[in-house]
Amino acid sequence: MTDSVKRRREEEAADGENGVAVSEQGSDTAPGFPLSEMSVRRVLRESARDKTVFLHGQVPGPIMVNSASGDGTDAVVILEKTPFQEENISELLKKHTKLQLQMTNDIYSTYRLYLPPELNEIKTTVVYPATEKHLQKYLRQEVYLIQETAEDYKNITLPFIQSQSFSIQWVYNILEKKAEADRVVYENPDPANGFILIPDLKWDQKQLDDLYLIAICHCRGIKSLRDLTAEHLPLLRNMAQEGKEAIVKRYGIPGSQLRVYLHYQPSYYHLHVHFTALSYDAPGCSVERAHLLSDVIDNLELDSQYYQKRTLTFALRADEPLLKKCQEAGRV
């Protein structure tokens, strides 16, 4: 398995464990995962809007210690329709194998267009072997809004974070060039105010409409937005300015067409910033989770302790342990 497929999607790393993320089109060319041998146990979740389905699969063979069931090795497989690529449109129309009429009414008609395999890609992400924790993560869950005061953070959230063994070794592997070194778009190596800019696994890098990169700071110990003070302004300004400059240089997209933001709660507790195309409705860019980096910088310029004082709102799924802590404290 190559270094470039070891990092899970940001959204899929919220439990702090590393799974195996494999992006392959079609079949068992994915190293280490026998897709054709997998049986589908159930559909965990599906999204007609995003053209994505989350599957609980099982591969025959030795039962893993952490297997969620007793018949083989569990896996989570995410199938996602890839976006159209402008340069392939002409080929797509010329090479269709079948155009089947579904309905016609005056000047309007609908068809099913059947394409050859090379033009009908499905991005496939695999978490394997998967534990019950992974299966629960992808299962459709109720979501609750939490309004976390500064006291709630000190008394509930921070102790919870400190009590958990969230592994972010994969982050350190990237920063130390032990993994994904070939994917680095830009680096400022300064240990205090530097960062690495790298494509997020959600982006297949085949088109710019869904551009998605992550800037990971070199400085360790900054867990989230709550830790930021005016001391970190040089780092944040570097990430904002140099990140945009690197993207316009590499991809030709100016900063005015980028959405640059932090998550709270983050999916892993090492400071990182998201860079997405403004036209892309990226997962996690909603108001209850995303904080624009420009706003964060402005707030810290006004008050160094801004994020130690203010109430922050975020969403938690019903199965998340932090929600249980909030409920026990009477905050939900």
Residues assigned a catalytic role? 272
CA distance 126 to 36: 13
Q: How far apart are CA 73 and CA 34, in angstroms?
A: 11
CA atoms of 161 and 332, how far apart (whole Å): 19
Instruction: Please state, in angstroms and as integers, the Cα–Cα distance from residue 234 to each residue in 25, 26, 188, 189, 246, following that order.
Output: 41, 45, 12, 14, 17
Written as six digits, the tokens of 68 are 């969620």
How far apart are the C-alpha atoms of 267 and 265, rounded to whole Å?
A: 7
Q: Is 311 within 8 Å of 150 (Cβ atoms)?
A: yes
How do beta strands 272-277 and 212-217 pair? antiparallel
Strand partners, 99: 113
CA pair distance 276, 253, nearest whole angstrom: 10
157 CB-contact burial (10 Å; exposed 0-12 / middle 13-18 / buried 19+)? buried
Amino acid at 36: S
**CA nearest neighbour of 263 among 310, 332, 314, 219:** 314
Q: Decide if 30 contacts 126 (C-beta within 8 A).
A: yes
